[in-house]
Amino acid sequence: MGTRTLVCGAGGLTYELVDRLRERGHLVEGVATASLVVRADAGTAVDAAADALGALDLVVHVLGSPGHPTPLVDLSTDEWVAACEEPMVGALHLLQACRPHLGPGSRVVHVVPTSAMGGAPGFAATATAAEGIRALNKSAARQWGADGITATVVAAAPELLIGPAANSAGGALTGPALGRTGGAEDLAGIIDTLASPDAAFTTGSTIVADGGTWMAP
């Protein structure tokens, strides 16, 4: 049986990722990011998806971002809330809603831009949310490990998750070692690997899959 996968995110990349995971044999249900802001809505949406799949082997949360850079001092409070606080709240609600459907061998994967680690001028709200979500993932890893559930983070190129206006992680002097910033197929590959039994001993980690730009530490 294929991996029973719930994907949560917004935008074209998420849809492409769903297609690529299906090509790899995953049975995929989606949950819209907008449905995560209210805890009860998140529960309803996740329960429906989990019921359709039977259980959740893999939960993938893709952090969205505004595509246009705005200096923090020029952001409205509403823009800050939408780009920073709601994604953090949503990530929490998603984990809470998914927990009853997770069991031994289940995986949680958060996909964030490497700007979580390097900071992102013009996208401070997204970077702030991303690093908060990375810490939430570590708490999930520590709390749920005893039940055989792992949680990991895939850090992708900012260009991929935010858009062409996003600078490379940490203002790197050089571009990606592999010559490109990647796409949905690259993400599907690493996520599928993390979902495999061979990744059962990896938890709380951040796997950087950005073609070799961000190399710290």
Q: How many residues bind other proteins (CB under 8 A)?
A: 46
Question: Contact between 140 and other proteins (CB under 8 A)?
Answer: yes
Question: Contact between 141 and other proteins (CB under 8 A)?
Answer: yes
The smaller minimum CB distance to other proteins, of residues 5 and 168, is found at 168
Question: Using CB under 8 A, which of 73, 78, 173, 174 touches other proteins?
Answer: 73
Site map 22..41 versus other proteins, x via CB under 8 A: -----------------x--
> Smallest distance from the beta carbon of 24 to other proteins, in angstroms?
28
Site map 107..126 versus other proteins, x via CB under 8 A: --------xxxxxxxxxxx-
Q: Return contacts of 41-46, CB within 8 angstroms, 24+ apart.
A: 42/90, 42/93, 42/94, 42/96, 42/97, 43/93, 43/96, 43/97, 45/97, 46/6, 46/94, 46/97, 46/98, 46/101
Strands (E), the chain: 4-9, 27-32, 58-62, 107-113, 150-156, 206-209
CA–CA dist 21, 59 (Å, integer): 12
Positions that interact with other proteins (CB under 8 A): 39, 71-73, 75, 77, 80-81, 84-85, 88-89, 92, 95-96, 99, 115-125, 127-143, 171, 204
